[in-house]
Amino acid sequence: MIDDDIAFAGRDRCAVAGIGQTEFSRDSGRSVLSLAVEASRKALADAGLDVSDVDGIVRCEQDTVTPYSLAAALGASNLAYWADTGPGGVAPCMMMGLAMGAVLSGQAKTVLAFRSLNGRSEARLGSGDQRTAGQRVGGFGTYDEFYLPYGLISAGQTFALMARRHMIEYGTTAEHMGAVALACRAAANRTPHAQMGSRAMTMDDYLASRMISSPLRLFDYCLESDGACAVVITSAERARDLPRHPVLIRAVAGGAPPDLRPGMMFPVTTREDMTDLGGRRAADALWRRAGVGPSEVDIAQLYDCFTVSVILQLEAFGFCGRGEGGPFVASGAIRHDGSLPINTGGGHLSEGYVHGMNHIVQAVRQLRGEADMQIPDAELCLCTGGPLPVGSSVLFRRA
């Protein structure tokens, strides 16, 4: 055990009381607002609560659905607290912190946290910036003027530069990244609702997939998806009186890397050590606040926008040493029968990309014992948030 962080008053005092999700697809045929309503209604029904109980809504700043629109569409007229967090996939873990803060400070009793996107049929996240030729780009603190004019457009290209650097420094290989893709695919193959649920993948399939932005191949990329997820957070005390077995929020923590640079995603490439993540600092705080260390974690839902981000986060959160992420994943440790099963619903790579929120839902399923690919006797599940430019994390515990 690591020393307690006495400044963190939230340990085990809040819980996820309900979860909900829509179908994950390539084309929902519906608005993001209607997706958010469906996921929220399901989460409330799961929690045994009524829409009139909702007094708080938190969201990702990139969501086009605002808390007020969702409240209006749900008929949640008791809305009294709302907040946005981010950036992007960092948001879901930070949402757990916002919800906890609202509940523990008395600003809300029942907080909905959601993410809704038509990430395939409407706003493809992998497309990056799509402004037209001749248009001025960057400035105003974005620092995009140093990158977009060169043709650095997307997150995949940025992670490709990080992956190459990790290969140069530590000898990480394509097969290492393939091991992450295969672990997620194998989990999806045991998860009926996963978008890749019925499609197997071998290492040969992985290596044969077309190069997109070297060294990253098609199967290093997550699935741009349409879909929504929502969870209901309330006090642990109240959750005990609700129908579902509560899953406690043991601790939350965000973190910035030691060499943080201004701007959003692209300036990560200017860090002296661009494969070190803010997640390392988040992990330091998380383990301290939780009073446990990485060796006590049963399952991890690691933010897998790309395979390489899993390797980097395994290092950042202390499951292996710096540079050892490749051999760690190749050892089989991350498979369902390994020492640290990851992304047990298939993750962003093979279940669907709901920008980190489906990882939260999957963590709750595992700790309730109702996942499709259930890991036996799981008590602690880590979730991490999008690794750039800062990192986030939440540790859930079975009550």
Partner 1 sequence: MLIPNTTDRDTGGFFAAAAEGRLVYRACDDCGAALHPPTACCPHCGGENTSWHDAQGTGTLHSWTTIHQSVHPEYTAPYTLVLVTLDDTPEVRLMGRIDGEPELEPGMTMQVWFETVADGVVLPQWRPA
Active site residues: 303, 353
- Does residue 98 interact with partner 1 by CB under 8 A? no
Answer for which of 75, 243, 258, 262 binds partner 1 (CB under 8 A) is 262
Q: Is 276 near partner 1 (CB under 8 A)?
A: no
Instruction: Tell me how far, at minimum, the Cβ of 26 lies from partner 1, in Å.
Output: 18
Please name which of 174, 158, 58 lies closest in space to residue 107, comparing C-alpha atoms.
58
Residue 174 touching partner 1 (CB under 8 A)? no
For residue 115, give the H/E element and its range.
Answer: strand 111-118
Asked if 82 interacts with partner 1 (CB under 8 A), we say no
Q: Does 265 interact with partner 1 (rule: CB under 8 A)? A: no
What is the rounded distance in angstroms from the CA atom of residue 47 to the CA atom of residue 45?
Answer: 5
Rounded CA separation 156/221 (Å): 7
For position 160 contacting partner 1 by CB under 8 A, the verdict is: yes
Give min distance, CB of 210 to partner 1, in A. Answer: 7
CB of 122 to partner 1, least distance (A): 17
- One symbol per residue from 120 to 159: x for binding partner 1 (CB under 8 A), - otherwise; what is it? ------xxxxxx-xxxxxxxxx-x-xxxxxxxxxx-xx--
Whether residue 28 contacts residue 354, with contact meaning beta carbons closer than 8 Å, is answered with no
Residue 205: how many other CB atoms lie within 10 Å = 15
What CA–CA distances, in Å, run from 37 to 117, 122, 353?
Answer: 12, 18, 18
Q: Which residues pair with 114 in a beta bridge?
A: 59, 230
Q: Quick one: 139 or 376, whose CB is closer to partner 1?
A: 139
Nearer to partner 1, 1 or 210 (CB): 210
Backbone φ and ψ of 4, nearest 5°: -65, 150
Q: Angle, nearest 10°, between helix axes 307-316 and 279-290?
A: 50
Choices 55-63, 69-77, 268-276, 349-357; region in contact with partner 1 by CB under 8 A: 268-276
Min separation Cβ 118 and partner 1, Å: 18
- Identify the residue whose tokens are 């808390």: 67
Interaction between residue 202 and partner 1 (CB under 8 A):
no
- Give the interface size with partner 1 as a residue count (CB under 8 A): 49
Interface with partner 1, residue 312, by CB under 8 A: no
CB of 218 to partner 1, least distance (A): 9
Cβ neighbours for 295, distance < 8 A, ≥ 6 positions apart = none
Q: How far apart are CA 391 and CA 162, in angstroms?
A: 16
| Interface with partner 1 in residues 207-246 (CB under 8 A) | 210-216
Answer for which of 117, 230, 265, 274 binds partner 1 (CB under 8 A) is 274
- Beta-bridged to residue 395, according to DSSP, are 251, 382
Among 57, 98, 113, 161, binds partner 1 (CB under 8 A): 161
Instruction: Quote the least distance from Cβ 278 to partner 1, whole Å.
Output: 16
Check: CB of residue 187 under 8 Å from CB of residue 346: yes
Q: Which of 153, 178, 140, 92 is nearest to 353 (CA)?
A: 92
Is 199 a residue that touches partner 1 (CB under 8 A)? Answer: no
DSSP SS3 for 324: coil
Helix (H/G/I), strand (E/B), else coil: 149: helix
Q: Which residues bind partner 1 (CB under 8 A)?
A: 126-131, 133-141, 143, 145-154, 156-157, 160-162, 164-165, 168, 210-216, 261-263, 267, 269-270, 272, 274
